[in-house]
């Protein structure tokens, strides 16, 4: 009896050790002394950490992420060129705050102005670009808001291209993460400039204010901001082992504090989470019977890449579950939704993606239709 009990206890010990080995224990995220902050996985769009992310706050020079996004859009559409010469207005020259030190009535290459905004955070360069693209800064702000609406930034309003204080100029950590994600995805060649550590114009060298570019080689962007109302802010992004994370920190009490907070969030995200691409757009997920057609089955798949962010070590526990809406009856048009693909990890649904017909199937011949009508009566 004693040996039996010992054997069973030993077995339970081995089982518990195995269970612990297969379970990732995730501690609470670091507490950040900031008004709002988050970590987002670039690939899946999932938030790994979030605190007050829908609170509208003044963004200061984080505004310039949208300014550069608009410029990048105009460049891609061929409306402007990096070689364009931009005439500096008196308004641009007189703009207060951080400056590139452009001179009134002088022409500056658009390429230099872009670096002046990205690296030097020049308010004067931001206004010069805004006026060149839209005629006036206020019209450019309208263009910024149209892009924000298109991207799904539902709690943002831009009144200028610089982030200088305005009661009606605001955004949220969530919206900034959405913007940063779109910027990195849509305009990678322009985004690459955000890792430039210094830029010289008019014999004045200025350093990028993003301290993480010197502290962490995985960090390749993106933008700092500071006003008295906004506090010290930083949107950062890094890539480690093909996993990109985006952090947003708003309203810290110093330049060093925003860098330390961002570093802590990035380290937490990489330490405890991993990102996986499960399927590619157009992949066949399943095939199911189709009625009243001249073919027996139809392929169902997905119309988007599917990424998931999960606790480290849990990949083997991911379970795809297919749900078909109803019996599939011809005719079917390619792209018709016929069910859902639910990606689950234990009792949590990670993603739900529509299952669509990957090809069109026309109605079958009379004999097949009559036969299937009879069979369906007994289904």
Q: Which of 35, 44, 61, 134 is catalytic?
A: 61
Mean pLDDT for each 10-residue chunk of the chain (379 residues)?
38 39 75 97 97 98 98 98 98 97 98 98 98 98 98 98 98 98 98 98 97 98 97 98 97 98 98 97 94 89 96 95 90 95 94 95 71 63
Q: What is the pLDDT of residue 378?
A: 67
Q: What is the pLDDT of residue 172?
A: 98
Confirm whether 36-274 and 280-377 share one CATH topology: no
Say how far residue 360 (Cα) sits from the centre of its chain. 33
Domain boundaries, the chain: 36-274, 280-377
CATH code of the domain occupying 36-274: 3.40.710.10
Q: Does domain 280-377 have CATH number 2.60.410.10?
A: yes
- Rounded to two decimals, the pTM is 0.89
**Residue 64 among the catalytic residues:** yes
Q: DSSP letters along 214-278, please?
A: HH-TTEEEEEEEEETTTEEEEEEEEEETTEEEEEEEEEESSHHHHHHHHHHHHHHHHHHEEEEEE
Q: What is the pLDDT of residue 329?
A: 87
**Residue 3 among the catalytic residues:** no
Query: Which has the closest alpha carbon to 180: 217, 140, 235, 122?
Result: 235
Q: Which of 64, 211, 260, 292 is catalytic?
A: 64
Q: What is the pLDDT of residue 328?
A: 87
Q: What is the pLDDT of residue 1?
A: 40
Q: Which of 35, 36, 98, 121 is catalytic?
A: 121
**Residue 211 among the catalytic residues:** no
């Amino acid at each position: 009896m004693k040996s039996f009990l010992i054997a069973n206890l030993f077995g339970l010990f081995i089982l518990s050790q195995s269970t612990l080995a297969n379970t990732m224990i995730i501690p609470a995220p670091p507490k950040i002394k900031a008004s709002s902050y988050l970590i987002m996985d670039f690939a899946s769009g999932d938030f790994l950490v979030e605190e007050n992310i829908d609170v509208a706050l003044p963004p200061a020079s984080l505004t310039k992420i949208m300014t550069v996004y608009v410029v990048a859009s105009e460049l891609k559409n061929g409306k402007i060129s990096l070689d364009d010469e931009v005439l500096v207005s008196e308004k641009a020259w007189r703009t207060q705050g951080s400056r590139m030190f452009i001179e009134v009535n002088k022409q500056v290459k658009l390429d230099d102005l872009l670096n002046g905004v990205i690296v030097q955070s020049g308010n004067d360069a931001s206004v010069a670009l805004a006026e060149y693209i839209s005629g006036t800064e206020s019209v450019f702000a309208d263009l910024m808001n149209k892009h924000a609406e298109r991207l799904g930034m539902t709690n943002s309003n831009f009144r200028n291209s610089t982030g200088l204080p305005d009661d009606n100029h605001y955004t949220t950590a969530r919206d900034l993460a959405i913007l940063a994600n779109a910027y990195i995805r849509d305009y990678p060649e322009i985004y690459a400039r955000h890792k430039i550590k210094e830029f010289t114009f008019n014999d004045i060298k200025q350093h990028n204010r993003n301290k993480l570019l010197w502290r962490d080689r995985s960090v390749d962007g993106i933008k700092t901001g500071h006003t008295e109302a906004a506090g010290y802010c930083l949107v950062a992004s890094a890539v480690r082992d093909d996993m990109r994370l985006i952090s947003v920190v708003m309203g810290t009490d110093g330049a060093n504090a925003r860098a330390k907070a961002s570093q802590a969030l990035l380290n937490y995200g990489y330490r405890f989470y991993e990102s996986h691409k499960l399927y590619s757009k157009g992949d066949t997920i399943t095939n199911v019977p189709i009625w009243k057609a001249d073919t027996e089955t139809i392929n169902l798949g997905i119309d988007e890449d599917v990424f998931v962010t999960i606790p480290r070590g849990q990949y083997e526990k991911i379970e795809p579950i297919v749900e078909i809406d109803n019996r599939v009856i011809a005719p079917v048009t390619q792209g018709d939704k016929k069910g859902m693909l639910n990606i689950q990890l234990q009792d949590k649904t990670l993603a739900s993606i529509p299952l669509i017909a990957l090809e069109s199937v026309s109605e079958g011949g009379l004999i097949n239709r009559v036969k299937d009508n009879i069979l369906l009566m007994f289904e």
